[in-house]
Structure 1
Amino acid sequence: MKVAFIGTGSMGGLLIEAFLRSGALHQSFICISNRSQQKAEQIAGRHPGVRVVTSNVDAARESQIIFLCVKPLDFPGVLSEIKDVLTEGQIIVSITSPVQIEMLERAVPSRIAKIVPSITHSVQSGASLCIYGSRIQPEDRLLLEQLMSSISTPLMIKESQTRIASDISSCGPAFIAFILQRWAETAAEMTSIDRADAISLGAQMLLGTGKLLTEGGLSPEELQRRVAVPGGITAEGIAILDLGLQDVFSKLIDATHQKYNEDLDKLDILFNETFDDY
């Protein structure tokens, strides 16, 4: 199975490295192209056998699965470039949330899937969000989910849920890391603990908490009840968090959805300008 990656930036490079480390893909079956060929050559240098090509057309022409790992506003240009070599039997996988399945299906003849990854896949963890177009066959879905299962837990969602699901699975690691950073910095300022020690403790706590909520079968409410004894220290802390976080998540969701909708509007204009029959 030949797999192409168009775009080897942050997430494209992460996916290539993760698939190779997991053994899901062999170097000889991967073809990559990138606007900056140096980045692609660096990946090939670490993984002899990975083929670097100088054009997106060459990457797309002979591949069964084509991962498009470019910025949302670059999609119309890339699709316009490769559409003439695409066939109905190929699978195009978009990894970006704002580009809609309908946009892609109207632009190219191939089967379309949208799989939104997470930085957590670099350690073979986290959820990958899977949305499938109308042309995807059951065997296509099985193939894609077997591939993603090697580095993540595939979760099928509705396209209307893409933004909020991405907030949690894809943006979430950055949000949680930001909270841990602030917590550790404040702890170091107010007490004798070292910032690095506080971050290390927090990282181990997050790892264990994730396991309790998955492997341990606990719900968030059950976990809180197990730790927060009424009238105890943890209960006092939760009361402070409850008060301080009342509007935080609604504001966060409003902000991410506003940016998402802005991107949708820009993409709609670009697709209409790029494809005459769109």
Structure 2
Amino acid sequence: MTQPAPTLCFIGGGNMARCLIGGLRQRGTPGHQIRVAEPMAAAREALQTEFDVACFESNRQAAEQADCVVLAVKPQIMHTVCQELHGHSGRPLWVSIAAGITSTQLDTWLGGDQRIVRCMPNTPALLGVGATGLVANVACHEADRALAERILSAVGIAVWIAQEAQMDAVTALSGSGPAYSFLLAEAMQAAALRQGLDAEAARRLTYQTLLGAARMLSESAEPADQLRKRVTSPGGTTQAAIETLQGGGFEALIDRAIAAATRRGAELAAAAGN
């Protein structure tokens, strides 16, 4: 006997929820299987109009009869939201996309013995090319993992992480990672201007270069170090640039940056309390 398709509920209708809903709708999830809780009337109307989904002002009302509840709210209000949803009668799968909030904290706030998948998507998900790390608590079944992966894969790739302690590193790497690329783009453009290029040429060449490099990384079977070596001719211009970056401690600086972001993720979890 075929199992009925799960009903999904999104608590929060912000940018990440919107892109997940849009991705699911594009991949064939019917609108009647998606419910959204959103406090702003204008946002509810926009969600209903664009995606043909049921929207509610009340979190509890939206979550009624849902098989999976996606917690898409800011970490600062997660405790309050969970208190409101505490005692949900349907025992749904809970999927959290909030940075720094552990599954243990969520389980406590939601009443205990809950099935929880914690996720960390990043902003390129808004374009359907996101990278999400996921980890499931011990209460989850294979069907829960499959459902969570289906939801997050609607906006890019979904990668399972072995231990939740590694999620702060995921946040530091892919969650915060787009900002590192944007900072690199800023620096490259500024350097090109100082070398005499006009602003528009510097912008277009920088953006297309980063896009091309990203595509080579994702579409080539060769690892990053081999791709780098292939474009670094001995004694050439690229070698001069690479030696300058490495001489200035480029790799060590990136290592310290990701370590700092990882520590901050742990601090946010500690600040959220139990």
Q: Tell me the TM-score normalised to structure 2 length.
A: 0.89
Segment of structure 1 superposing worse, 239-248 or 156-165: 239-248
| SS of alignment partner, residue 224 of structure 1 | helix
* Equivalent residue letter for 1:113: V
Displacement of 1:86:
4.1
Measure, in 1, the Cα distance between the counterparts of 2:148 and 2:134. 9
Partner of 1:106: 108
Q: How well do the aligned residues superpose, as a CA RMSD in angstroms?
A: 1.9
C-alpha distance in structure 1 between counterparts of 2:171 and 2:266, whole Å: 14
Deviation string, structure 1 residues 48-89 (Cα, Å, up to 9, x no partner) = x2111010001111211111011112111101101122433x
- Consecutive unaligned residues in structure 2, runs of 5 or more: 1-5
- CA drift at 1:165: 1.6
Match of residue 18, structure 1, among 17, 23, 30? 23
Quick check: 1:18–1:121 contact (8 Å CA) kept in 2? no
- The residue that corresponds to 1:188 in the other structure is 193
Q: Distance in 1 between matches of 2:83 and 2:32?
A: 27
Contact 1:127 1:169 survives alignment (8 Å): yes
Length-normalised TM-score, structure 1: 0.88
Distance 1:150 1:254, change over 3 A: closer
Residues 169-198 of structure 1 show CA distances to partners (whole Å, capped at 9, x for unaligned) of 12111210121022113312431x232332
Q: 1:119 aligns with which of 113, 119, 123?
A: 123
Q: Give the structure 2 partner of residue 275 of structure 1.
A: none
Runs of 4+ in structure 1 off by over 6 angstroms are none
* Contact 2:69 2:93 (C-alpha < 8 Å) held by counterparts: yes
Preserved contact between residue 86 and residue 110 of structure 1 (Cα < 8 Å): no
Alignment partners' CA distance in 2, 1:24 and 1:172:
30
**How far apart, CA to CA, are the structure 1 residues paired with 2:133 and 2:61?**
28
The alpha-carbon distance between structure 1 residues 142 and 114, as it changes in their structure 2 partners (threshold 3 A), is same
Match of 2:202 in 1: 198
- Cα deviation per residue 1:21-43 (whole Å; 9 max; x = unaligned)? x3243222221112333223222
Structure 1: state its 5+ residue gaps.
272-278
2:59 to 33, 56, 61: 56
> Which moves more between the two structures, 58-67 or 231-240?
58-67
Whichever residue aligns with residue 78 of structure 1, its letter is V
Deviations 1:73-118 (A, max 9, x none): 2111101101122433x11100023111111223324311012112
